[in-house]
Amino acid sequence: AHARHRVDSSAPRDMAHADDAMTRVREAIDALGDAGASADAIADALTTMRRACLTSDDACDDVVKEYLTHSPDFADVLNIWDSYHANHAQKVCAPLLALCGTMMTRARETAATSGRASGDGWTERERLALDSLARAIMSRRMRQIYSHLASGVRVRVNAGLITLAGIAGRGKRCASELFRTFDFSLAVLPKIASPPRDSGAKDGTSQRRHRDGKDVLAGSTRRAFCEFVLAFFAVNDAALLRPVLAQRVLFGNVARFSAGDDPSMQIRMLQVIKEDIISAKSGVPARLRAALFGDVTLEQLATMAGREDVDDEASTSGRVARDAREVLCELFTNPAHGLCPERSGAAPKKCQSIVRLLQKLRPMDCEAHLTILLRACETHPALAMMYLPNAKYALEPRLSAHWLAATGLIGRVCVAAAADASASSAAARADGAALV
C-alpha cells in the first residue's frame, strides 16, 4: 500500500511538470510570432521547443500540434529562416533547422497508412502541413542547406543533416523528391561522413564509440550523416533502392567507417545490408552488390565480426558481431552477390577482394574469423587455392596447442584446395575426351 501511495503521488507531479513544459512551449511559440523579438529570444524559443520535442514521442506530438494551431502553414518558421540566414546562420538558423527536422519526424506517411492519421492521432491536415514544410525547403531553400553542410561548423552541419533526414523519412514521395533535388556532387560529403579526426584509428574504428548522446545535434557529423542516409531506406521504397545504392557517396560512406560507430547504428546498417541489399527479394543486381562491398567495407565487417562478445547474443555488440559474421559468410559463399566464384574450378578476378580479406583474418585468435575462413574455402575450393600461397602460419614442428591448431587449419584448407584441383583435372579430362 505504501508503494502504491508513492506511485500515485508521483502522477500529479508528472502532470504538473508536463503542464509547465507546455506553458514554456506556448511562450516560445508566441516569441516566434513576435515581429520585435531579438535574435537571442528567437534562438532561445527554438531551443525550448526542440528540447521539449526530445523529451518523448508524445511530448513531440504535443509540441507539433500546438505549433500548428498557431501557424498552420509554418509561416513563422519560414519567415525566420529567410530573415536570419544571412546574419545569424548559427545562432538562429541552426536550432531552427534542427527543430524543423525533429518536427518532420512526426505524422509521417507511414503513420497515416497505418491508421494513425484519424481519431486521436494525426489528422490529414497536420500531415499535409508537415509535408508542405518539407517541400518548401526542397523547392526554395536547398542552397541554404548546402551552405550549412559546407560551413565546417559541426552544429550547423548537423542541423542541415537533421533537416534532410526529417524530409527523407516522411515517406516515399518526399524521399524521392529529395533524392532528385539533392546535389550529391558536394565535395564536403565524404568529409562530414568521416569519424572525428581525433578518434580515428588505422582500421577505421573509433576510440569514443559510446559517447554520442540522444541528441543528434550534439553528436558527430558522421552520426548525423548516417541518420540522413538510413532515412532513405526506412521508407521502404523499392523503386528508390537501386538509385540510392548506386550513389556511392551515400551508403558507401556509411559502411566505410562503420566499425567505429555506436553498436545501435551498426545494427541498423547491418539490417539494411541483410534486408535491402543481399536479400533475394531486394532485386539489387549482382554487379551493384559487389561494388558496394569493396576491400574497406569488407574489413569493417570483419572488424565487427571479430569482437570478443560475439557469443553474448543478449548484448547489442553481440548482435552486431553475429550479424556481421553472417553477412560475410553469405557474401563469401553465395555467387548471387557477385563476389565469389559461380562454379567449381573458376577463380575470376572478382574473387581477389575475398582472398585479400581472408588473408587479413585472425582465425587462430577469433572463432568468428575461423568460421568465415573455413566456410568460404570449403564452399568454394578455388578460394582455398588462392588463399594458400600467401597463408602465413608457423608450421615448424613444436609441441604446442597453437601449432596443432595451425596445422589442423591448414590441413582443412588444403583438403578444400585439393577438391578444387580434382575438379579442375576432371574438367580438363572431360574437355580432352570431347575433343577426341
Angle, helix 94-103 to helix 154-168, in steps of 10 degrees: 20
Dist CA 359 CA 354 (whole Å): 9
pLDDT score recorded for residue 399 = 66
Length of the chain as a residue count: 436
> What is the residue-wise DSSP string for 17-82?
HHHHHHHHHHHHHHHHT-TT--HHHHHHHHHHHHHHHTT-HHHHHHHHHHHHHH-TT-HHHHHHHH
Q: How many CA atoms lie within 13 A of 89 on its CB side?
A: 19
Q: Which of 388, 386, 389, 382 is nearest to 423 (CA)?
A: 382
Average pLDDT value for residue range 420-434? 45
Q: Which of 228, 322, 310, 327 is nearest to 276 (CA)?
A: 327
Contact 430, 352 (CB under 8 A): no
387 has a pLDDT exceeding 80: yes
* Contacting residues for 434 by C-beta, under 8 A, at least 6 apart: none
Contact 179, 161 (CB under 8 A): no
Among residues of the chain, what percentage have pLDDT more than 70?
Answer: 80
Residues 23-42 pLDDT 10s: 999 999 999 888 888 999 99
Confidence of residue 431 (pLDDT cuts 50, 70, 90): very low
Q: How far, CA to CA in Å, does 375 sit from each of 271, 291, 309, 413? A: 22, 22, 21, 10
Residues 343-381 pLDDT 10s: 655 556 778 999 999 999 999 889 999 999 999 999 999
* Contacting residues for 358 by C-beta, under 8 A, at least 6 apart: 372, 373, 376, 377, 383, 387
Residues 314-344 pLDDT 10s: 788 899 999 999 999 999 999 999 998 876 5
Confidence of residue 435 (pLDDT cuts 50, 70, 90): very low
Which cell numbers in the block locate residue 121?
492521432
Which cell numbers in the block locate residue 82?
529567410
pLDDT score recorded for residue 200 = 45
58 has a pLDDT exceeding 70: yes
Give the global pTM. Answer: 0.86
Poorest-pLDDT segment among 48-62, 97-111, 235-249:
97-111
Average pLDDT value for residue range 413-431? 61
The rounded mean pLDDT for the chain is: 85
SS (H, E, C) 342-368: CCCCCCCHHHHHHHHHHHHCCCCCCHH
Q: What's 154's DSSP letter?
A: H
pLDDT score recorded for residue 411 = 86
pLDDT score recorded for residue 125 = 83
Dist CA 368 CA 324 (whole Å): 9
SS (H, E, C) 381-424: HHHHHHHHHHCCCCCCCCCCHHHHHHHHHHHHHHHHHHHHHHHH
Phi-psi region of 171 (alpha: psi -120 to 50; beta: other; left: phi over 0): left
Dist CA 314 CA 317 (whole Å): 9
First to last CA, the chain: 96
Which cell numbers in the block locate residue 378?
570449403
Contact 328, 371 (CB under 8 A): no
Kindly report the backbone phi and psi dihedral angles of residue 220, in degrees, each rounded to the nearest multiple of 5, phi listed first: -80, 160
201 has a pLDDT exceeding 70: no
Confidence of residue 434 (pLDDT cuts 50, 70, 90): very low
Beta bridge partners, 206, equal 200
Residues 73-94 pLDDT 10s: 888 999 999 999 989 989 999 9
Which cell numbers in the block locate residue 360?
587479413
* Contacting residues for 76 by C-beta, under 8 A, at least 6 apart: 32, 33, 70
242 has a pLDDT exceeding 60: yes
Which has more confidence, 242 or 347?
242
10 has a pLDDT exceeding 60: no
Which has more confidence, 136 or 343?
136
Contact 272, 230 (CB under 8 A): yes
